[in-house]
Amino acid sequence: MRTPLVLGLETSCDETGVGVARGHTVLLSNVLASQERLHRDFGGVVPEIAARAHLEHLVPVVHRALEDAGVELREIDAVAVTAGPGLAGALVVGVAAAKALAVALEKPVVAVNHLEGHIFSVFLEYPEFSPPAVALIVSGGHTLLIHIEEMGKYRILGATVDDAVGEAFDKVARLLGFGFPGGPLIDRASKEGDPQRLRLPRPMRGEGFDFSMAGLKTAVINALQELHDRGARIRRHDVAAAFQEAAVDVMVEKTVAAAREEAAERVLVCGGVAANSRLRDRMEKVCKAEGIELFVPSPKLCTDNGAMIAAAGAFRLEVDGPSPLDFRADSGLLWPFEALVAPTDC
């Protein structure tokens, strides 16, 4: 059988993403309709607004993704869709659309776990990537350190005990008045900030592979209060840089420690926060020094997108076959991860 041409739909949070991939390694198109503008005034993603916007964007985005890929809808071999985890109402829009398309085309539909989608983004840029490897998945809703034992088989090494890393970036950005979404704004502001101006802790440093990002966010609040009480002033760019440096320190140290413990020769960093320029730089330097091969997809593939869902869908289709037509969107989907912590946001 020829390598399937898969259409991937992603609607788990605030990005309507549609991509086309040939198998799990060949990227043909990746189109995104961002809802940033719609949620900005609220300082975060509003689930009802997200679901409605997906409904409006999905059909035109599917058309553009097919056009960019240079393929006709009838040439598609399967429709893959994020089944979870994510915002329930937002997921339902993608799942219903994927099922409708699959039925109309008389082609299989494939349910994909969003986090497995993030992992599969690596193959679209590095087709040569292969397990075993340690992966750090850092997004707005999840922070996970896992060991990829073989294709599609994962063992969880650590997770956040409270907020996800991206969530902490977004909350600290809001606190500092940078706006939404906070991650890219903190990243940019930090380039003009001095991280040494504020001392912040590195929560759970040296304590296994779990993370506490709410602890770091609270430390920022306390430090700002203390400065205020002393009548001292600090530029918000310096606070952003200090926060980012602390978060990056923890991510880098735990990932490298996990790679050492697992004797992993490869490390993958993926998910929205993997777009962070400081994290990318630091990971690169440390992995080079440790003799670890580092894989970090380009920022456009790190943040939510449909192409990664198409890639993961192609893989799942090959190993598990089509999903039953009655599968449901599941905001807390665990499969195929053995013991995921519940999602905090999207």
Q: 138 to 167, contacts with Zn ion by CB under 5 A? A: 139
For residue 160, give the DSSP letter.
B
Maximal CA-CA distance, the chain: 71
**Helix/strand/coil percent split, the chain, to 5:** 45, 20, 35
Does 343 bind ligand KG4 (CB under 6 A)? Our answer is no
Per CB under 6 A, does 19 bind ligand KG4? Answer: no
Extract the tokens encoding 328.
């449901």
Beta bridge partners of 136: 145, 269
d(CA 213, CA 152): 28
Range list of β-strands (E), 35-131? 78-84, 109-113
Minimum Å gap between C-beta 174 and ligand KG4 is 11
Report in angstroms how near the CB of residue 214 gets to ligand KG4 at its nearest: 14
Which of 187, 245, 304, 345: binder of Zn ion (CB under 5 A)? 304
Rounded CA gap, 151 and 251, in Å? 24
Single residue of 17, 23, 271, 313 touching ligand KG4 by CB under 6 A: 271
- Span near ligand KG4 by CB under 6 A; candidates 25-33, 136-144, 231-239, 261-269: 136-144
Under 8 Å between Cβ of 248 and 282 = yes
Size of the site for Zn ion (CB under 5 A): 2
Give the residue with the Cβ less far from Zn ion, 4 or 17. 17
User: Under rule CB under 6 A, which residues in 142-201 are in contact with ligand KG4?
Assistant: 166-167, 169-170, 181-184, 187
Taking the complex as a whole, the smallest distance from the CB of residue 121 to Zn ion amounts, in Å, to: 10
Compute how many other C-beta atoms are within 10 angstroms of the C-beta atom of residue 67: 13
Q: Is 13 in the site for ligand KG4 (CB under 6 A)?
A: yes
Name the site residues for ligand KG4 (rule: CB under 6 A). 13, 139-141, 166-167, 169-170, 181-184, 187, 271-273, 275-276, 303-304, 346
